[in-house]
Amino acid sequence: MTLTVYWQPGCTSCLRTKEFLREHGVAFESVNVREDPQAMERLAALGARSVPVIARGDAFVYGQDLATVARFAGIEAGPQRLDVPVLVSRLLALLDSTALLAAQLPEQSWHERLPGRERTHLDLAYHVSQVVVGFLDAALGGRLTFEHFERTPPDHVTTAADVARLIRSVSQALAVWWGANQSRLPTEFDTYYGRQPLHAVLERTTWHVAQHGRQLQRLLELRDVQPAPRLEPALLEGLPLPADVWDAEVPLA
């Protein structure tokens, strides 16, 4: 039975899931839930509440972790993970780099929408901070929710400089958490896609931020703004990033 992948534009895990399946020669039906009015009803019938979802008949898994996708799709070798200290170091550096990129967004682009989404350029930069806020909430005994990823900037966050400051403050909070807890880390996190190992959630958080950093860099280039500095390739090495910055099924104008 052919797999079905339910996805939406701008979703980093959706893009990487589809690329991962294609890389391994796994056929699937691609369903954009933003364009198919019955897609969310089908997901609800399965018991799924968010994307990406990979389904086969009545069985499904979420696509946030490629190792889970590999097992479900019958792919023998899952991806190798970087060690936890390396991931934390990368994430801190990526947050600092992303803050610099966010600060360079030109004012005329702040409220321009991304392709296929209601999310604006400023929303995208703000989203980076909330990816890590969700991780920290779970790390401190709470829950990583899908709502973390749907948040938009509050009323007092109105400029690119505001968002950049917020990203830096989240980076500082992550550094404080790591300094206080690295010798007694939790083994699992509570997430909207089930109980997950710390390593898997941290990896996803790190490459999630990296992918949005790549997107912010591309948005600047499309506005003829030369990002300074650019994301260092060494920060991306070994992360299970998509090959594409944007989903080819939703062209960027």
Q: pLDDT by residue (tens digit) across 104-152? A: 999 999 999 997 788 999 999 999 999 999 999 999 999 999 999 999 9
CB 171 within 8 A of CB 209: no
Whether residue 29 lies inside any domain: the answer is yes
pLDDT of residue 251: 62
| Ramachandran angles phi, psi of 135, nearest 5° | -60, -45
Do 93 and 204 belong together in one domain? yes
What percentage of the chain carries pLDDT values higher than 70? Answer: 97
Task: Assign 100 to helix, strand or coil.
Answer: helix
The CATH code of the domain that includes 151 is 1.20.120.450
**One domain for residues 153 and 204:** yes
Host domain of residue 23: 3-73
- 65 located within any domain: yes
pTM of the complete model = 0.89
Based on the fold, state whether residues 116 and 175 are members of the same structural domain.
yes
Dihedral sign, CA of 202, 207, 213, 219?
negative
Q: How far is it, in rounded angstroms, from Cα 111 to Cα 170?
A: 23
